[in-house]
Amino acid sequence: MEIILNNTINPAYLIGAGMIWLGASTSSHAAVIINEIDYDQVGSDTAEFIELFNSDINSVTLDGYTLDLINGTNGTAYNSFDLSGFSIAAIGYLVLCDSTQAVANCNIEVASSSWIQNGGPDGDAVALLFGSTLLDSVTYEGIGSALGLYAEGNSFAPADSNSITMSIARLPNGTDTNINAGDFSSGCISPGSANMSGTGDCSVSVNPVPVPAAIWLFGSGLIGLIGISRRKQGSLAG
């Protein structure tokens, strides 16, 4: 069963010439990873974001890519975002956020607050897929029995905080050894730029020139998750 969450068209933005474009690119799927997540802010969660990073020296077109947010209680997607139509520049970033007013360098505005669940004992996960192939996933705060598929290294990233300004971030920037617990740690908030250790807000405005660009579609919630075959970074060259 598929759950269509919403078909509302929301504004999306391309920020920074050279940061994202819709031109020539490669098929280096495995080069794109989930790099930083801020799912919990001090008090109300109104500045959540997920940052993707392309480590390839070529841009990557995101046609066929989906970002799923996975509920730890049942292992199914409670939010799913079709990234078709977007690209990430070489050694570049793509940021999905609550609000372009609240999050620096946000490329795709998700028109709601609290769109990323706050984990809890059974954890939650974020998953990047190409078609039905799971490319990268991050489980945080715990591993419920339904999250095994997404808990890289059978481990989970440390928790974000409701009392400290921080994110959970790959450190050093872009590190992916397929062990969530080792790859992620407390990060200073840095949407759209290289991750930094520590806490606080290290946002740097890369090039704040928003240009209306693309239609944002909320996709189906399940996306054929059954039978997903995991491919590790580096196994999809070409």
Provide the minimum distance between the beta carbon of 118 and Ca ion in the complex, in angstroms, as a whole number. Answer: 5
Nearer CB in complex with Ca ion: 38/82: 38
Provide the minimum distance between the beta carbon of 160 and Ca ion in the complex, in angstroms, as a whole number. Answer: 4
- 3-state secondary structure string across 184-237: EEEEEECCCCCCEECCCECCCCCCCCEEECCCEEECECCCCCCCCCECCCCCCC
Q: Which window, 34-42, 72-80, 146-154, 200-208, contacts Ca ion (CB under 5 A)?
A: 34-42
| Structure token pair of residue 14 | 């391309």
Contact pick of 14, 19, 36, 221 for Ca ion (by CB under 5 A): 36
Residue 66: name the closest of 235, 217, 174, 190 by CA.
217
Q: Is 38 in the site for Ca ion (CB under 5 A)?
A: yes
Number of residues binding to Ca ion, judged by CB under 5 A: 13
The SS3 of residue 138 is: strand
Contact pick of 14, 28, 40, 139 for Ca ion (by CB under 5 A): 40
Nearer CB in complex with Ca ion: 45/152: 45
Residues 57-96 that bind Ca ion (CB under 5 A): none
Residues 139-168 that bind Ca ion (CB under 5 A): 160, 162
Q: Is 125 in the site for Ca ion (CB under 5 A)?
A: no
Contact mark string toward Ca ion, 178..207, x via CB under 5 A? ------------x----x------------
Q: Is 118 in the site for Ca ion (CB under 5 A)?
A: yes
Q: Is 122 in the site for Ca ion (CB under 5 A)?
A: no
| Structure token pair of residue 6 | 């919403």
| Structure token pair of residue 70 | 């996975």
Specify the amino acid at residue 79. Answer: N
Buried b (16+ CB within 10 A) or exposed e, 88-125: bbbebbbbbbbbbebbbbbbbbbeeeebbbebeebbbb
Rounded distance between C-alpha atoms, residue 238 and residue 231, angstroms: 13
Contact residues toward Ca ion (CB under 5 A) are: 36, 38-40, 45, 51, 114, 116, 118, 160, 162, 190, 195
